[in-house]
Amino acid sequence: MTNRTLQIGVVQFACSDSAEENISTASRLIRDAASKGAKIILVQELFSGLYFCQEQNPDHFKRAYSVTDDPAVAALSALAGELGVAIPISFFEKAGQVFYNTVAMADADGSILGIYRKSHIPDGPGYNEKYYFRSGDTGFRVWDTAHGRVGVGICWDQWFPEGARAMALLGAEVILYPTAIGSEPGQPAFDSSRHWQRTQQGHAAANMTPVAAANRIGSETVGDKVQSYYGSSFIAGPDGALVAEAGRDGEAVLTASFDRDTLARDRATWGLFRDRRPDLYGLISTADGRQS
């Protein structure tokens, strides 16, 4: 009989510049989450190493692998099969002559169901991703895992309601965002953590779909750059309320469970998808937000 409970886990930790060490830490925390009942477990963005996008340095392209060769994808997909859980695995992808910020979706048997390439690529101080990553070409993806239908965006994607709505329209029962976010260079007093959370809580409420985000913690030095990450990983329920939240510091394992039938019934009852007016939304797909 199909499990009708959506059992979500989120892990949070500080990254070193050792892929072996980070994969070991992620694996330990994933095991902890699984022992607490989690069946779909989220790890933070680009967790294999430091967040190298603080600087523009061509040496960092050496960090990229194909999906079949990436050590984190290999290790965590094997772990997914061992534990019988689903894990979206964030990695720096080399695809021929281009590079992407990518998630590989591992199912509970260890197989890779497919990949999602980050759609929205930021470009600003401390977050120089356009130097490394091409804009994703997969479109938004949702996968039928053994434990539920899962949509995954990546970090900057989480600020765009259109992406969350697209995944909801594709039938996502939960939307997950692996993340690397923290301090803003040149703005030491600026803290976006609550804004960051509220934006995604809005996606959960507007789509009546649980949303979870995993962020890293600690300070990282890359070249002559130093950046701190504010953790605050969370799971939000279908009404947008936080049901689990990590601190700004320290490793964390979060879990939450939702009844899939109740989620589906409530989405239907509220009529948010019934009453959509896509005939009025054409300006959303224009470059300058103006109607022709």
Residues of the chain with pLDDT > 70, as a percent, come to 99
Give this prediction's pTM: 0.96
CA distances 84 to 34, 108, 144, 154, 267, Å, are 9, 4, 14, 24, 28
- Mean pLDDT, to the nearest integer, of 228-238? 98
Please report the pLDDT score of residue 181 as a whole number. Answer: 97
- Mean pLDDT, to the nearest integer, of 145-152? 98
Q: What is the CA radius of gyration of the chain?
A: 18
Question: Going by C-beta distance under 8 Å and a sequence separation of 6 or more, which residues neighbour residue 165?
Answer: 203, 206, 207
**Does the pLDDT of residue 46 top 90, yes or no?**
yes
Interval 85-126: pLDDT, tens: 999 999 999 999 999 999 999 999 999 999 999 999 999 999
- Mean pLDDT, to the nearest integer, of 169-191? 94
- Mean pLDDT, to the nearest integer, of 236-262? 98
Please report the pLDDT score of residue 187 as a whole number. Answer: 87
Domain ranges of the chain: 5-267
- Average pLDDT of the chain? 96
Buried b (16+ CB within 10 A) or exposed e, 28-48: ebbbbbbeeebbbbbbbbbbb
Q: Identify the residue with better confidence: 188 or 198.
A: 198
Do residues 17 and 151 make contact, with C-beta atoms less than 8 angstroms apart? Answer: no
Of the candidates 93, 85, 86, 78, which has an alpha carbon nearest to the alpha carbon of residue 46?
93
Interval 30-44: pLDDT, tens: 999 999 999 999 999
Interval 55-76: pLDDT, tens: 999 999 999 999 999 999 999 9
**Does the pLDDT of residue 2 top 70, yes or no?**
no
So what's the architecture of 5-267 in CATH? 4-Layer Sandwich (3.60)
Please report the pLDDT score of residue 1 as a whole number. Answer: 43
Please report the pLDDT score of residue 164 as a whole number. Answer: 98
Q: Which residues are catalytic?
A: 45, 118, 155
Q: Are strands 40-42 and 5-12 parallel, antiparallel or unpaired?
A: parallel
